[in-house]
Amino acid sequence: MSPTPTPPLPLLRTTWTTLYAHTLPALALSHAPSQPTWPVHLDHCFARIIYDAVIGEGLAPWPTRLRSPAVAHMSAAQLQACIAMGEAIAAGRVGLAEADERSLAARGKRGQKKKRRVEAEAEGGGAQKKRERDGDIRATLVAPSTPMPPGAEHPPEARPPPAAPLTARSPSPSSSPAADDCQDVRALIASSALSPFRQRVLLALTQVPPGRYTTYAALAGFLGSAPRAVGNAMRNNPFAPAVPCHRVLAADGGIGGFGGEWGGRGSEGERIRKKRALLRGEGVRFDGRGRVVGGVWKGFV
């Protein structure tokens, strides 16, 4: 009997990305019964846990053994192992809490997560308060549309859809992607009617920190796609500015596009000026020609 052929790398990458960026976060947010507890909810946390187990072999953080982005540099065997572990977590055959603790131990952080969780629950009123907070997150997925507060500015094509409104707790343009509210936005993206590719693009964007910028090419390289496809996916961002498409620039350091406009060629429209102002407000600097100063952020996981 001939061995089963290995699936092509692009298919493995797509399968893995869908699993850690969509399937597992959705199970966590719904408190699926396959796990007694879901200690993490964000896609990059699931990726960290599984990468540390597969690439780091439970002994070391995965970046010490593989270049970033991992999805672009893993072998077929490593991708298959990540998929197998992700599917086992989803089915309850592998304990997520235990895997998370092993990952933290490999990073020298054993016990820190439990301490932070206890302190957070004590400050918030215990487990009941935590459940109420989780309920609030889920409620935003089906809440009726609410008007934007006076003075809130979004490009016309970047207003949140009625089925998934951004609440008053949504991050401002200068909020950290690691902040708690980012979890709300990720949940809205994962539960939206957007295509899987657009969801992947927007979820990846939430990783770009304030004060830094990435490029269409860097984002496309992480996603295994093309810069033009990434730009098209961001053209109508219903979660702006909480999902910071303004932090994506052209590969040559130019301002790129924003809200359907494209900068350069000696003139800038209102939306491009707004993009530049948002970036400057976060600490990004430009030279006399309007080119960005500083290195490209490529820390996607």
Active site amino acids: 245
Phi, psi of 163 (to 5 degrees): -75, -15
CB neighbours (10 Å) of residue 171? 22
Residue 262 main-chain phi, psi, to 5 deg: -125, 130
Torsion, CA 120, CA 124, CA 126, CA 131, rounded to 10: -100
- Provide the strand spans (E) within the chain: 214-215, 248-249, 257-258, 261-262, 285-286, 292-293
CB 247 within 8 Å of CB 205: yes
Q: Where are the alpha helices (DSSP H) in the chain?
A: 9-18, 24-29, 43-54, 70-73, 76-91, 96-106, 112-124, 127-139, 180-190, 196-205, 216-223, 227-234, 270-281
Per DSSP, the three-state class of 297 is: coil
Question: Position 143: which residue type?
Answer: A
- CA–centroid distance for 228 within its chain: 20
Structure tokens at 100: 């998370």
Q: In degrees, to the nearest 5, what angle opens at C-alpha 219 toward C-alphas 9 and 245?
A: 145
**How far apart, in whole angstroms, are the C-alpha atoms of residue 206 and residue 188?**
12
